[in-house]
Amino acid sequence: MPVVVVDVVLKPEISDPQGQAVLGALGRLGHSGVRSVRQGKHFVLEVDGTPDAAELREIAETLLANPVIEDVELHLPTD
């Protein structure tokens, strides 16, 4: 059964308070080499048959993400 991964993150111009909180905590824990953190959502979809990229993009952009403030990245199987 093919697996499709959808990653959703806030657009770069949108403030990410959760990412900033993680970045601050990393600094307090002594991990000073991390320059930036962006949090997001990670979805794993098992699909029947050959994945339809257009249909999956529509699902991602209408249900899994808010396209006004979030970017979507589809990871389709490569076999």
In this prediction, residue 10 has a pLDDT band, given cuts at 50, 70 and 90, of: very high
CATH architecture of 3-75: 2-Layer Sandwich (3.30)
CA distance 72 to 74: 7
Domain ranges for the chain: 3-75
- pTM equals 0.84
pLDDT computed for residue 79 by the predictor: 58
CA distance 46 to 9: 21
Q: What are the distances in angstroms from CA 53 to CA 56, 57, 74?
A: 5, 6, 8
CA distance 76 to 44: 11
Task: Assess whether pLDDT exceeds 90 at residue 28.
Answer: yes
64 SS3 class: helix
